[in-house]
Structure 1
Amino acid sequence: MHIILGGTGNIGSVLAARLLERGEKVTIVSHDEKKKKEWEDKGAQVAVVNVLEVDKLRKVFDTGERLFLLNPPADPSTDTVKEEEKTVTAILAALQGSKIQKVVAESTYGAQPGKGIGDLGVLYEMEQSLSRIGIPASVMHGAYYMSNWIFSTDQARETGKLYSFYPADFKLPMVSPADIGEFGAGLMLEPLEKTDSYYIEGPEAYSPGDVAEAFAEALRKPVEVAVVPEAEWVSYLQKGGFSLEAAESMATMTKLTLEQDYKMPVSPVKGKTTLKEFIKGVVNGS
């Protein structure tokens, strides 16, 4: 049995679907009762559990042998770092002493020690803690998610502008979450003793200018990049519903990415989905 955390999200849903297609038994962990019937109809079992409930979560883990670990993203209106630290701590506590024999975990490019740096710090600590538990684990590091641009769709459609914290020509590795899910499904089926650390990105690096071009092509209207000055990042995010703490950590994480203040992988796994294919799918609602 495969236990999937985040099984209804962009990555986990693809991973779970691929395992089901191969005849594997899958249990999806969700806090949303509304998702239960949809996935049961697809052949999965669904455990409706809040990941903060350690004892209940461990009981779910005890029904399987392999775990896909994706720490759920916190609501940006909260102190996201604190909330995500709570959830990953609870998940790891449930994992200790459970019957899980192998873990495949989702992390990120640039994961590093530090406070107030969003996912970069939270996921670094997750990796360190996971290594200490002693269960065989493979870790996937995803590049900048193409899905981060989904929230720009309405703006691009209505105003013809794509707001970006990065310069229009700043290239960075991006990846479709579906490509991560596809790769992760393969890792879930590998022998227990086979573990490694992987970096996953798309076919090539892309810039905000490339994103604007992809939206323009999909929307069939001009779209241009509007760069938000660094001094306005926090206030811009707050206007979008971020708490002050979440906005500050996002701004710090963005600056670290902009400065590329971390080592880039030498031989990353390359996904197949291009940026234009992804944005076209977003615009068409697929």
Structure 2
Amino acid sequence: MHVIFGATGKVGQSTAAALRHEGHTVRAVVRNPAQGETLTRIGCEVVTGDLNDEASIHRALDGAQAVQMLCPLPHRDPDPAGAMHRMIETAARALRAHPHLRVVALSDYGAELDAGTGITLLFHHLEAALTEAAPRLTLLRSAEHMQNWARVVPVALATGRLPSLHHPLDRPFPTVSARDVGSVAAQLLSDGLNEEGVRVVSVEGPRRYDANDVARALGEAGGRDIVAHALPRDQWTATLLRAGLDANHAKLIVDLYDAQNSGRIDAEAGTERRFGTTELRDVIAALVSTINA
């Protein structure tokens, strides 16, 4: 039995689908039963659970051999860092009671760094907590997800300008499709490795892109000229606040991109490397098609 937390997200759905395609039994954990229809259709057992509810985690893990653990940033919480810390600690306590499990924890490029990385610093804490809690642990660190550009696709299509926090615009950065992350996670869950220890795997796409590449892909998919625009650093916080984020969440993003643009965030040297197959243009085309629909 493979248990997938965060099963309704893009990575979780991809992991579940890949495992089911290989014939594995999958238990998908969802917070809202209404979200489980797609997972039920592909043959998953769907159960309700919440990473803030330790009892529900234990129920989800009952009878499992392997688990994919995702602790997402709680976007709607006024203190997202504090809320994620509590979620991580709850998950770690639960995992200590199931030491036989093979655990694949979804993390981020740069999670080995212990200061100044914004959102990624929360994954540093996750890695530390789960390393202590899970004897058989794989940390799957992914590059920035290509699907994150969905937040600014509508404004780019409307104005012909793609706002970017990646500076400079012609500097390539690692990125990966969420679907490829899920596929790699499924491989790691099903490969049968059972020895104790921590395995670190870094995953990114088939090649690196810059913000100008994103703009070109958007232009091709949207049928209009689009140019990348480096959003001035002194406008980042105000722009994020206008987009509906609170100050705490905005600071996490600002600190993250400061670290990214200074070259601090990348695949850690010496880690095992995996590469997806999905090209940026295919993800962008899918985003544009969804918006147009």
1:85 paired residue number: 85
- Does residue 26 (structure 1) correspond to residue 29 (structure 2)? The answer is no
State the shift of 1:159 in Å. 1.1
1:175 paired residue number: 176
1:268 paired residue number: 273
State the shift of 1:134 in Å. 4.1
Query: Which whole-Å CA distance do the structure 1 matches of 2:213 and 2:60 have between them?
Result: 43
Amino acid in the other structure paired with 2:276: G
Query: Secondary structure of 1:59's match?
Result: helix
Query: Which whole-Å CA distance do the structure 2 matches of 1:153 and 1:63 have between them?
Result: 43
Shifted more, 121-130 versus 255-264: the winner is 255-264
- Does residue 255 (structure 1) correspond to residue 274 (structure 2)? The answer is no
Structure 1 runs (4+) deviating above 3 angstroms are 112-118, 262-267
1:184 paired residue number: 185
> Deviations for 1:124-182, whole angstroms, at most 9, x for unmatched residues?
11111211124201111101110110112211211111111123212101111111111
State the shift of 1:265 in Å. 4.0
1:43 paired residue number: 43
Query: Which whole-Å CA distance do the structure 1 matches of 2:164 and 2:55 have between them?
Result: 42
1:283 paired residue number: 288
1:68 paired residue number: 68
Query: Which whole-Å CA distance do the structure 1 matches of 2:215 and 2:63 have between them?
Result: 46
Query: Which whole-Å CA distance do the structure 2 matches of 1:176 and 1:182 have between them?
Result: 10
Amino acid in the other structure paired with 1:132: E
**Contact 1:78 1:243 survives alignment (8 Å):** yes
Query: Which whole-Å CA distance do the structure 1 matches of 2:112 and 2:233 have between them?
Result: 22
> Deviations for 1:71-93, whole angstroms, at most 9, x for unmatched residues?
12311563221121121111111
State the shift of 1:193 in Å. 2.2
The number of residue pairs the alignment matches comes to: 286
> Deviations for 1:172-202, whole angstroms, at most 9, x for unmatched residues?
0111111111111111112242562111111
**Contact 2:164 2:231 survives alignment (8 Å):** yes
Residues 117 and 268 of structure 1: CA distance in aligned 2, closer, same or farther (over 3 Å): same
Query: Which whole-Å CA distance do the structure 2 matches of 1:46 and 1:69 have between them?
Result: 16
Residues 100 and 223 of structure 1: CA distance in aligned 2, closer, same or farther (over 3 Å): farther
Query: Which whole-Å CA distance do the structure 1 matches of 2:199 and 2:29 have between them?
Result: 25
**Contact 2:212 2:228 survives alignment (8 Å):** yes
**Contact 1:118 1:253 survives alignment (8 Å):** yes
- Does residue 144 (structure 1) correspond to residue 149 (structure 2)? The answer is no
State the shift of 1:113 in Å. 4.7
Instruction: Give the percent of matched residue pairs that are identical in Structure 1 and Structure 2.
Output: 25
Residues 258 and 76 of structure 1: CA distance in aligned 2, closer, same or farther (over 3 Å): farther
User: Structure 2: which 5+ residue stretches go unaligned?
Assistant: none
State the shift of 1:228 in Å. 1.2
**Contact 1:76 1:246 survives alignment (8 Å):** no
State the shift of 1:117 in Å. 3.8
Query: Secondary structure of 1:138's match?
Result: strand
**Contact 2:169 2:230 survives alignment (8 Å):** yes
Query: Secondary structure of 2:152's match?
Result: helix
Residues 191 and 92 of structure 1: CA distance in aligned 2, closer, same or farther (over 3 Å): same
* TM-score, scaled to structure 1: 0.94
Query: Secondary structure of 2:24's match?
Result: coil
**Contact 1:104 1:188 survives alignment (8 Å):** yes
Shifted more, 180-189 versus 255-264: the winner is 255-264
Shifted more, 234-243 versus 50-59: the winner is 50-59
Amino acid in the other structure paired with 2:277: K
2:58 paired residue number: 58
**Contact 1:61 1:100 survives alignment (8 Å):** no
Shifted more, 52-61 versus 191-200: the winner is 191-200
State the shift of 1:253 in Å. 1.0
Query: Which whole-Å CA distance do the structure 1 matches of 2:244 and 2:24 have between them?
Result: 40
Amino acid in the other structure paired with 1:270: F
- Does residue 102 (structure 1) correspond to residue 99 (structure 2)? The answer is no
Residues 264 and 17 of structure 1: CA distance in aligned 2, closer, same or farther (over 3 Å): closer
Query: Which whole-Å CA distance do the structure 1 matches of 2:77 and 2:165 have between them?
Result: 19
* TM-score, scaled to structure 2: 0.92
